[in-house]
Amino acid sequence: MNTLIQEKPTAVNTQFFNDVIVGLTAEPKSLSSKYFYDERGDAIFQQIMEMEEYYLTNAEMEIFVSQSAAICEAIAKGDEAFDLIELGAGDATKSIHLLKALINRDLDFSYLPIDISAHVIEDLEANLPLQLPKLKIKGFNGDYFEMLSQANKYSNRRKVVLFMGANIGNMSVEDAQLFCEKLRKNLSKDDLLLVGFDLKKNPSQILAAYNDKNGITKSFNLNLLARMNRELQADFEVDNFDHYACYDPQSGACKSYLISLAAQTVTINDKVIHFQENEYIFMEISQKYALAEVEKLAKFSGFNMTQNFLDDQNYFVDTIWKV
Ligand code: AVI
């Protein structure tokens, strides 16, 4: 008799389980990169951001450290009060430079960070006011669009939405178009969007950022299999899978896969999944853009690209789009 007391699956686990089964019974197999970020995944992503090869973090940080005063000018509309909404705020290490610049200019604004993690919101609300005592902050924990509509109910001031960190790159171009269109429909005249894109550059440099020599990105991908073992009673032999990343300079798509190193069978709770030798699981896209493609995306989704802020090496752009 099985004497283990099974924990009732939580709502999150049910959603996670369903998404995993849909992805792994599809042809070709895929998993959603949004599930990379459990506690262990967050810690590995932190290591990725500190990697020598992962140029993105420093490039966008440089923009915020050295150009926040100019960004501040670009988003302020005289002295009119506004809300600064950040989608996926994380620890706000880059946006804090902009917050400081806005406070130094004595602008009347509230900072409304939105994040899927309750932890992140609690930390921001507790810690940011210690560094910026004049900051008015109200966090929203949940899905971007649901929280955006809550933020709309909270205040009817002009909105400036930040979507940084090349998070838009983790959507295909088609999904990014749908996302931006939906965002556009949630904003009003005079609202602004500031969005960060990783730009097309030397393909070898891009590939190295997702195929680092120390295997940190590999462990980031494999952690999703380990997470399924921990949370969904799966029995993945993690060492039976390898990480494979590739970059296509023409389309700008950098893609990550896990490759099954043997014919094998994995059980996830009550479902059995077969893998052929060398079969792949598509894990993540990190789409890179040319500036002209960024402008095309803005136009397509009903925005006007008004100003671009680039780092010195032209690796990254934070672009301002007007409704
Ligand atoms: C969060 N996102 C922008 C990262 C990226 O660059 O696509 C996630 C990542 N995946 C592997 N390395 C970093």
Task: Phi first, then psi: give them for residue 132, nearest 5 degrees.
Answer: -130, 80
At which residue do the structure tokens 């890179």 appear? 288
What ipTM, to 2 d.p.?
0.99
Q: How far apart are alpha carbons 292 and 299 in whole angstroms?
A: 11
How many CB atoms sit inside 10 A of residue 162's CB?
26
The whole-number pLDDT of residue 9 equals 54
Rg (CA), the chain: 21
CB 207 within 8 A of CB 247: yes
Residue 165 in contact with ligand 1 by CB distance below 6 A: yes
How much distance in Å is there from the Cα of 182 to the middle of ligand 1? 23
Q: Which of ligand 1's atoms lies nearest the C-alpha of 209? A: 12
Residue 166 in contact with ligand 1 by CB distance below 6 A: yes
The whole-number pLDDT of residue 13 equals 83
CB 170 within 8 A of CB 164: no
pTM reported for the whole predicted model: 0.94
CB 254 within 8 A of CB 247: yes
Task: Phi first, then psi: give them for residue 320, nearest 5 degrees.
Answer: -105, 125
Residue 254 in contact with ligand 1 by CB distance below 6 A: no
The whole-number pLDDT of residue 6 equals 52
The whole-number pLDDT of residue 7 equals 53
For ligand 1, atom 6, which residue shows the shortest CA distance?
Answer: 286
Q: Nearest-CA neighbor of 211 among 187, 239, 246? A: 246
Q: How far apart are alpha carbons 52 and 238 in whole angstroms?
A: 26
For ligand 1, atom 7, which residue shows the shortest CA distance?
Answer: 286
Residue 197 in contact with ligand 1 by CB distance below 6 A: no
The whole-number pLDDT of residue 12 equals 57
Q: How far apart are alpha carbons 229 and 237 in whole angstroms?
A: 9
The whole-number pLDDT of residue 2 equals 45
Residue 167 in contact with ligand 1 by CB distance below 6 A: yes
The whole-number pLDDT of residue 116 equals 83
One-letter amino acid for residue 274 of the chain: H
Please give the chain's pLDDT, 323 residues, in tens.
Answer: 444 455 555 555 899 999 999 999 999 999 999 999 998 998 999 999 999 999 999 999 999 999 999 999 999 999 999 999 999 998 899 999 999 999 999 999 999 999 988 888 999 999 999 999 999 999 999 889 999 999 988 899 999 999 999 999 999 999 999 999 999 999 999 999 999 999 999 999 999 999 999 999 999 999 999 999 999 999 999 999 999 999 999 999 999 999 999 999 999 999 999 999 999 999 999 999 999 999 999 999 999 999 999 999 999 999 999 99
Burial 304-322 (b: 16+ CB within 10 A, else e): ebebebbbeeebbbbbbbe
How much distance in Å is there from the Cα of 4 to the middle of ligand 1? 38
CB 166 within 8 A of CB 196: yes
Residue 287 in contact with ligand 1 by CB distance below 6 A: no
Extract the tokens encoding 286. 């990190």
Contacts of 211 (CB under 8 A, 6+ apart): 217, 243, 245
Extract the tokens encoding 81. 């009060």
What CA dihedral angle connects 32, 141, 119 and 167, to 10 degrees? 40
Q: What is the chain's length?
A: 323
Extract the tokens encoding 212. 């680092």
Side-chain-side CA neighbours of residue 152 (13 Å):
12
The whole-number pLDDT of residue 220 equals 98
What CA dihedral angle connects 221, 226, 228 and 232, to 10 degrees? -170
- Beta strands 29-30 and 280-287, pairing class: parallel
